[in-house]
Amino acid sequence: MSDFEALTAAVLEFRDARDWRQFHSLRNLIVSLNLEAAELLELTQWKNDAEVEALPVDRQSAEALRDECADILLYLLLIADVAGIDLAAAARAKLVKNSEKYPVAKAHGSRAKYSELG
């Protein structure tokens, strides 16, 4: 069993023990994922780059960063479960697509979007 499969099983068990499946429509899960992403973003609000880079060093900030990342991952696993997506396979396929859109010879060291690489 992969890590994703084991985590998905654990989050489904957690959800089902609380009878929360009734609230987990695909739309609600996508909204919740974005709310959690906003909480991650909030950790950077009003901070300069140096302060943001220091987040993993401070114990309390590092815990908040871990917690928000975990919340995002858990919602993503629930979305993938509802939608029937194999996340590992989807990520590998997306890397192939991205490598075609961003060939090393054109994209190396560039922040340009693929449509602007020329």
3-state helix, strand, coil in the chain (%, to 5): 75, 0, 25
Instruction: Give the pLDDT of residue 117.
Output: 86
> How high is the pLDDT of residue 1?
81
CATH H-level superfamily of 3-85: MazG-like (1.10.287.1080)
Determine the pLDDT at residue 6. Answer: 96
pTM reported for the whole predicted model: 0.91
Answer yes or no: is pLDDT of 70 > 90: yes
Chain region(s) in the chain for CATH 1.10.287.1080: 3-85
Distance CA 34, CA 36 (A): 5
Residue 85 has pLDDT above 80, yes or no: yes
- Could you report the per-residue pLDDT of 8-57, keeping only the tens digit for each? 999 999 999 999 999 999 999 999 999 999 999 999 999 999 999 999 99
**Which residues, including other chains, have CB under 8 Å from residue 8's CB and lie 6 or more apart?**
77, 78, 80, 81
